[in-house]
Structure 1
């Protein structure tokens, strides 16, 4: 922060005898005055929150702007309004340059200072040099931000990409030397923050959702075999071997969910009922438990399992229990609705309107990101890319940051902010987020089966150990076996087979990122 900003605040505070605050035109805190007083007005909650979070909330901002401060040429009085959270009146002094409001000086005032007080005019005059500084920083920040945006969105084959990177490095000056990375914050509702009020940020820019820069990073590549099925462009090859593995039938691949009636597959493979029965028997043998009785054909409940009595029926008629809805991310049904083929038909209202890109040094990346996250609304997530050397490599870090931000939104264990280097298997799974769900798994992602999807994920998260999975889900082991048999029926997958488990596990995890 420039010393001129704090000097202005101290001068105005002394001149008016009340603590002053200097904010940028996007309501980012720049400097504030220290006032040694027992007056409770100094502890006004709006001012205190602005100092602690270094930014006013969107609601407070709209309230203040409704008084015309963005076009003001002189002092503006703002009365208190408890309904808006403004408990103490204020006087706003516009900080202008070349006819444009570049910032605001805020004074706590209960109406005792007339707007024609010469001290207010003197304060506005004293702020003129600061207005010029803010305008210059805004122009510089806008230019660097525009260059950052151009570098992040340039096509890899664009011959001007290296030139743009060189221009960005020149604009950054000495800051371009050394390691760099990019953070992504989404969704971002405000205008891009000024680097002057985002300590540690080298540059910031906004990118709308759906731009080429929002493509997920490649992570190992996906092998394809032959043309994709119609309506499933980009689908990964699916390999599922029937449990009996013998003869020609053992080499056939299923391309969709099983026939609900248990008839033989169209390609002559084993029937769903037979595959399900063998899968249940093998799962029971592995889990060390007794195979559950067949469900009642009228109710679907298993008579031998008291804990299942009524539970499964309620799930089918009333939807899953509350514990099926993970607070950390979207439901499986939501993920299915957001799959590419669905988005192409009905659109995706959940896509963020814009994303904030932040150029930062790796050692301060998390601190800068958390500072900006404190200004964002609830539900915002952030991701941080890996370390890069030079501006020419920033596009890769940006794609990693976007992927990490989506993982942070889907998995609550990341606390809203995820670093690409800490994602583990999600580095690979993020590359699959735009791939349509596998035909076999797609039925499991429907809204009415989200409890089964949660059960399958828990079972696979615990390496197929039935006792641990049942404990984590809070259900009886027999209930778990019953649900697993339903999962096998819906998907046609053999949950005792390693490849089928891998397919199902990856599909469920990837569904959370859509």
Structure 2
């Protein structure tokens, strides 16, 4: 928290001769003074952990402090090891920011002391109000820069990269990587405002676990984006998994989603090229959408031929002349397509194909002859094998299988 809030707390502690602390509305510690006078176990625990323990929270909620209009005297509690204390709401411009606390072990705080403390609580509220405004302006500025960084305009990308570094918003240390998480809706459903709030909350919780200035985030209409230095992702390799899980948890159970998938782009050498990594992460999600074996976290660098194919325009892929041959395999028996793909994936090793499909090798040979008859491809010819192999992968990307 800011030096200004700390000065408010220290000044009040000197004037009233006892320990002072300020919490936010969730009773997380924001600032505290030197421990003048008596303190109790609860105060010591809060200073060590930065938040009240569960039993302390339950005790505090009994007093409905959020409805208080002025100082509230709280009694001691021997079972919890609590000394008497005073809570004063910290507000400004009608907004509640937290509470100012004074331990009053001998219950000697006078009305004059409380009046001084109430003024200090108002000062703390003004400090926190200004900081909230500054944070909101900062977040808006960073959001604009990140949107420009991910735009297709090369000049805007470079200006945004320079602005993020010069503004102290991002510590660029070589290559950067984009992580994108996207829920995949079932038919008839779309991502709505509540889902975007879930994406935002999940993104915020993940960002809070990372070092400052080592990540940038953005919520788009259908997905969430996280940009990290490559070195940070290497230190925290679970980030894509954790972000995906956080999104899934916040979206909740139901039949609206087929899956929640994370895509990880390749590392770019220049910070200004972060948009390339973001597009690669989206390609990885597109592949994982139709090829479930890449879920729940799909890395662009691990897509193989799918990465190259998925980067092409859909209309170009859909116009490939090989696709009718794939359709010809599906119509009599879908097992023929499975056999053809496995045969081609395993470089024509019929023994491996037979083992994986649980067939006799003679049955595999019979299927291969049937595949050649239906498609018109000679699978002993390397070039024809390649065309058919690519055709199967394209058909999977287009959802034709």
TM-score for both structures, normalised by structure 1:
0.45
Whether contact under 8 Å (2:326, 2:391) holds in the other structure is no
The superposition leaves residues 224-249 of structure 1 with CA deviations (integer Å, 9 ceiling, x where unpaired) of xxxxxxxxxxxxxxxxxxxxxxxxxx
Query: What's 1:419 paired with?
Result: 299
**What is the match of residue 149 of structure 1?**
147
Partner deviation per Cα, 1:90-143 (whole Å, 9 max, x = no partner): xxxx9987677999xxxxxxxxxxxxxxxxxx9x98995656645543442332
Q: Deviations over 1:206-225 (max 9, x none)?
A: 334xxxxxxxxxxxxxxxxx
Counterpart in the other structure of 2:76:
none
8 Å CA contact 2:182, 2:223 repeated in 1: yes
- Contact in 2 for aligned 1:97/1:132 (Cα 8 Å): no
Is the aligned partner of 1:436 residue 2:317?
Answer: yes
Counterpart of 2:341 (choices 450, 457, 460) is 457
Alignment equivalent of 1:166, drawn from 158, 162, 167: 162
From 223, 228, 233, the counterpart of 1:360? 228
Instruction: Tell me which of 126, 135, 138 is aligned to 1:137.
Output: 135
Where 1:469 maps in the other structure, the secondary structure is helix
Q: 1:401 — aligned with what? A: 281
Equivalent of 2:53 in 31, 34, 59? 34
User: After the TM superposition, which of the residue ranges 171-180 and 467-476 deviates more from structure 2?
Assistant: 171-180
Within 1, Cα distance between the matches of 2:345 and 2:160? 45
Stretches of structure 2 that go unaligned for 5 or more consecutive residues are 6-20, 31-38, 43-49, 60-65, 69-88, 99-117, 184-190, 249-256
Q: Show the counterpart of 2:247.
A: 376
Q: How far apart are 1:198 and its partner, in Å?
A: 5.7
User: For 1:177-207, what per-residue CA distance to the aligned partner results, in whole angstroms no more than 9, with x for missing partners?
Assistant: 5432211212383333347546356211133
Task: Name the residue aligned to 2:113.
Answer: none
Task: Check 1:371–1:391 CA distance in 2 against 1; reply closer, same or farther (3 A cut).
Answer: same
Q: CA deviation at 1:369?
A: 2.1
Contact 2:172 2:229 in 1 (8 A): no
Whole-angstrom distance in 1 between the partners of 2:54 and 2:169? 38
Distance in 2 of aligned mates of 1:96 and 1:443: 71
User: Kindly tell me: are residues 492 and 97 of structure 1, through their superposed partners in 2, closer, same or farther at Cα, counting changes over 3 Å?
Assistant: farther
Q: 1:10 to 1:401 in 2, by over 3 A?
A: closer
Count of aligned residue pairs for this structure pair: 286
Q: Deviations over 1:46-101 (max 9, x none)?
A: xxxxxxxxxxxxxxxxxxxxxxxxxxx969xxxxxxxxxxxxxxxxxx99876779
Partner of 1:488: 372
Q: Report the 3-state secondary structure (helix = DSSP H, G, I; strand = E; otherwise coil) of the residue aligned with 1:483.
A: helix
Partner in structure 1 of residue 392 of structure 2: 508
Shift of the 152–11 alpha-carbon distance from structure 1 to 2, 3 Å rule, reads closer
> SS at 1:175's partner residue?
coil
Counterpart check, 1:474 vs 2:378? no
What is the distance in 1 between the residues matched to 2:294 and 2:360? 30
- SS in structure 1 opposite 2:164? helix
Of structures 1 and 2, the one with the larger relative CO (CA 8 A, separation 6+) is 1
C-alpha distance 453-357 of structure 1, shift in aligned 2 (>3 A): same
Q: CA deviation at 1:502?
A: 0.8
Cα deviation, residue 472, structure 1: 1.0
Decide which of 153, 170, 177 is 1:181's aligned counterpart: 177
Of 184, 198, 206 in structure 1, the residue corresponding to residue 219 of structure 2 is 206
Cα RMSD, aligned residues only:
4.5
Mapped partners of 2:245, 2:207: distance in 1: 16
What are the within-5 Å matches in structure 2 for residues 304-383 of structure 1?
354-365=222-233, 366-377=237-248, 379-383=259-263
Matches within 5 A, 1:13-412: 33-35=52-54, 128=125, 133=131, 136-156=134-154, 159-173=155-169, 175-187=171-183, 189-191=195-197, 192=200, 193-194=203-204, 197=208, 199-200=210-211, 202-208=215-221, 354-365=222-233, 366-377=237-248, 379-411=259-291
- 2:10 corresponds in structure 1 to none
Structure-1 separation of matches of 2:244 and 2:325: 36
Offset of 1:485 from its aligned partner? 3.4
Give distance in 2, aligned partners of 1:491 and 1:138: 61
Distance 1:455 1:139, change over 3 A: farther
Partners of 1:102 and 1:134 within 8 A in 2 = no
Higher fraction of helix: 2
Q: 1:452 and 1:97 mapped to 2: Cα distance?
A: 71
- The Cα of 1:163 is off from its aligned counterpart by 2.5
